[in-house]
Structure 1
Amino acid sequence: MHARRLRVSLKGWGGVGAMAVVCALAVLFVLLLPLAPSHGGGKGGPDTGGPGATWGEQARAAEECTAPEKQTLSPSPADGPTIDEIKSREGEKRKLIVGVDQNSYRWGYRDPNSGGDAELEGFDIDLVHRIAEDILGDPDAVQFKAIPTDQRIPAIQDGRVDMVVRTMTINCARLQDVAFSAPYFRTGQQLLAPKSSPITGYNDTLADKEICTATGSTAFSTLEQDRKDGRLVASADLRTTVPNQLDCLVRLQLGEVDAVVTDGALAASQAAQDPTVQLKGDAFTTEYYGVAMKKDADDLVRRVNQILVEFRQDTEDGWQASYEQWLSATLGDDSAKSEPPAPQYLRKS
């Protein structure tokens, strides 16, 4: 990839040991959090609903939605009002403002072994640089904003970011609040638990077990619905929700919860950070990551979809190269199961 880095002062750490320090810092953050958002916050939390939309309205709209990964606009390289506004920023402000994660190993994280200041990098970060290069002609013309899971949608709606590239699943409920690009990655919900745990997968071994999910995440809404529908054992405890997915790993390490449910791609990275935990069973859903933008940013959605077409086709510096660099170590050399389907563009306006 092109030389591109965001630097912060974070020196002298090494490998997995550094991630352990990050987790330790996250423990302090978790313990200082208000109680309200950390338990039960997933119900109608900030990442699941927008201003003026009631839960009932969203539920009805979601029921009418099918194949959410196809509900996007056709690609176009043309500029429009949203892109013109980004390009009109002057001086140091002439940057693409993107919400990302800085704690998801291999996706968006700070590398403690970068030979100096820690660098923000990973699969999602590669994609951000690609988008910035296409729109502004400079892969480094990016202002990164680290945002927690439960603030992804509010950050877009409030105009704090132009887009979010943060392992964000395309689903019907979120389509009521933001627009998505075509998929750029395939994954599914999966369980993470200690190796010594009697939990074997998404089955009855979860009876009376406390499961941690991120507030506003697909994991929480899936588990809640599955329990209502009888696909998840009724005694599974879903009360523990946290702002950031990494906080779940910390709680698992502290023995405060029995299991974590998150996207399999993220769970594999967390298992790589901590050799005492492992994935339990197969993924029990199929989901797709997309770039999230404002609902009325049609020109930006079309442009990102055009970039994704080219990103997939680029055999030297594109999707496959990023997969091999960042994800093959945790997800395996065969990228076929992670490749998104051929895009379909069913949204007309």
Structure 2
Amino acid sequence: RRTWRRSAAPSASRPPRTCSDGENPARSLKPSSESGPAVDRIKDRGRLVVGVDQNSYLWGYRDPTTGKIDGFDIDLVRAIAKDLLGDDPEITYKTVPTDQRIPAIRNGDVDMVVRTMTVNCERIKEVAFSTAYFEAGQQLLVPKQKKDGKSDADGRNGTDGKNGAGSGVTGFDESLRGKRLCFAEGSTAQTLMESGKYRDLGAEPVVVANQLDCLVRLQLGRADATLTDSALGAGQAAQDPSVELIGEPVTSEPYAVAMNLKDEDLVRRVNSVLDDYRKGGDDSRWRTSYDKWLADDIMGTDEGKELAPPKPKYRD
């Protein structure tokens, strides 16, 4: 296995983040296969409209050989669509940038977003989430050092004359001070770096519309490091062997399917699909998709256990 580029999964012992009222934001509505207004809307239309990414390798990306969008997230989209619409369902994939995921849902442009979207206290006020289908954490991606002490990206300097390669970033410490740290607008990474102790590290923010833009900036020497979900970082390291993830994830972030707050029947239906998607342990559809897309690039937990889907949490 290509272990040099694999990300570490968050520790199972890391406590979940709770909101100011003590609520765990990852708790969702109990599953139900019953139809309601939102499910009927999709069935009457005969087509599921989903917001996805086409630039996150292994998760949601456009395969250059087929021209089709594929990945771990897309496998889940197909499972949801099949449950709602039957075999060979019609799906419209709408690619949305990071900062447009919530507006796309609230404006009714999509039925749901399946795009490595983290559930957190701020977002549950604006959109509804399913139970978690994956868990990641914020981790740093940096130019990989060669044995001679230089970076694989040496010589690819930005137009500002700064060398974005071999910057010496070693983790969430003083090595970040004054360094150009790239992250996507509207991302969990942005929220993290605008908070107390991380803001005080003194990194120079480089804010972009999509996470893949950060990889490009690393390649061009216009950023010294990228902050992103460990799972997305693993995909970027799989794309480009000149970069690598360092350290351990510093947060624990559940990915879930995002939907409109009023579409409670759809939330319950998706949770029913997810319950079935997880069933079967090593023979589950979740495991089949994980082995196909992610197993070579993402480790097990800090405790040495094989990675498994998060256990669902409910609030009703």
Q: Could you tell me the TM-score, scaled by structure 1's length?
A: 0.75
1:251–1:257 contact (8 Å) kept in structure 2: yes
2:52–2:114 contact (8 Å) kept in structure 1: yes
Matched, 1:278 2:261: no
Q: What's the C-alpha RMSD, in Å, of the aligned pairs?
A: 1.9
> 2: distance between equivalents of 1:65 and 1:145?
35
Q: Please report how far the alpha carbon of residue 294 of structure 1 lies from its aligned counterpart in structure 2 after TM superposition.
A: 0.2
Aligned partner of 1:325 among 274, 292, 301 = 292
Distance change (3 Å), C-alpha of 1:222 and 1:333? closer
Partner of 2:23: 66
Aligned partner of 1:88 among 24, 33, 44 = 44
Correspondences of 1:26-45 after superposition (within 5 Å): none
Secondary structure of 1:77's counterpart equals coil
> 1: distance between equivalents of 2:266 and 2:187?
24
Secondary structure of 1:184's counterpart equals strand
2:118–2:255 contact (8 Å) kept in structure 1: yes
Aligned partner of 2:257 among 291, 314, 319 = 291
Partner of 1:211: 181
2:174–2:201 contact (8 Å) kept in structure 1: no
- Higher helix content, 1 or 2: 1
Partner of 2:76: 127
Matched, 1:152 2:122: no
> 1: distance between equivalents of 2:199 and 2:307?
26
> What is the number of equivalent residue pairs in this alignment?
275
- Which residue identity is paired with 1:267? G
Partner of 1:245: 211
- What stretches of structure 2 of length at least 5 have no aligned partner? 1-17, 146-165
> 1: distance between equivalents of 2:108 and 2:132?
23
Q: Please report how far the alpha carbon of residue 84 of structure 1 lies from its aligned counterpart in structure 2 after TM superposition.
A: 0.7
Q: Please report how far the alpha carbon of residue 141 of structure 1 lies from its aligned counterpart in structure 2 after TM superposition.
A: 1.8
Aligned partner of 2:227 among 254, 261, 269 = 261
Secondary structure of 1:200's counterpart equals coil
1:188–1:287 contact (8 Å) kept in structure 2: yes
Q: Could you tell me the TM-score, scaled by structure 2's length?
A: 0.83
Bigger mean CA deviation after superposition, 336-345 or 299-308: 336-345
> 2: distance between equivalents of 1:269 and 1:101?
13
> 1: distance between equivalents of 2:122 and 2:210?
20
Matched, 1:187 2:120: no
Aligned partner of 2:87 among 138, 156, 162 = 138
- Which residue identity is paired with 1:320? R
1:150–1:243 contact (8 Å) kept in structure 2: yes
> 1: distance between equivalents of 2:306 and 2:227?
20
Partner of 2:311: 342
Distance change (3 Å), C-alpha of 1:147 and 1:322? same
1:169–1:290 contact (8 Å) kept in structure 2: yes
Q: Please report how far the alpha carbon of residue 111 of structure 1 lies from its aligned counterpart in structure 2 after TM superposition.
A: 1.7
Partner of 2:9: none
Q: Please report how far the alpha carbon of residue 339 of structure 1 lies from its aligned counterpart in structure 2 after TM superposition.
A: 2.9
- Which residue identity is paired with 1:259? A
Identify which of structures 1 and 2 has the higher relative contact order when contacts are C-alpha pairs closer than 8 Å and 6+ apart: 2
Q: Please report how far the alpha carbon of residue 186 of structure 1 lies from its aligned counterpart in structure 2 after TM superposition.
A: 0.8
1:186–1:339 contact (8 Å) kept in structure 2: no
1:165–1:290 contact (8 Å) kept in structure 2: yes
Q: Deviations over 1:137-189 (max 9, x none)?
A: 13442111111111100000000000000000000100010000000001100
Aligned partner of 1:311 among 277, 282, 293 = 277
Partner of 2:114: 165
2:192–2:198 contact (8 Å) kept in structure 1: no
1:203–1:232 contact (8 Å) kept in structure 2: no
Secondary structure of 2:105's counterpart equals helix
- Which residue identity is paired with 1:101? D
1:76–1:306 contact (8 Å) kept in structure 2: yes
> 1: distance between equivalents of 2:203 and 2:300?
35
Distance change (3 Å), C-alpha of 1:339 and 1:232? farther
Q: Please report how far the alpha carbon of residue 338 of structure 1 lies from its aligned counterpart in structure 2 after TM superposition.
A: 4.3
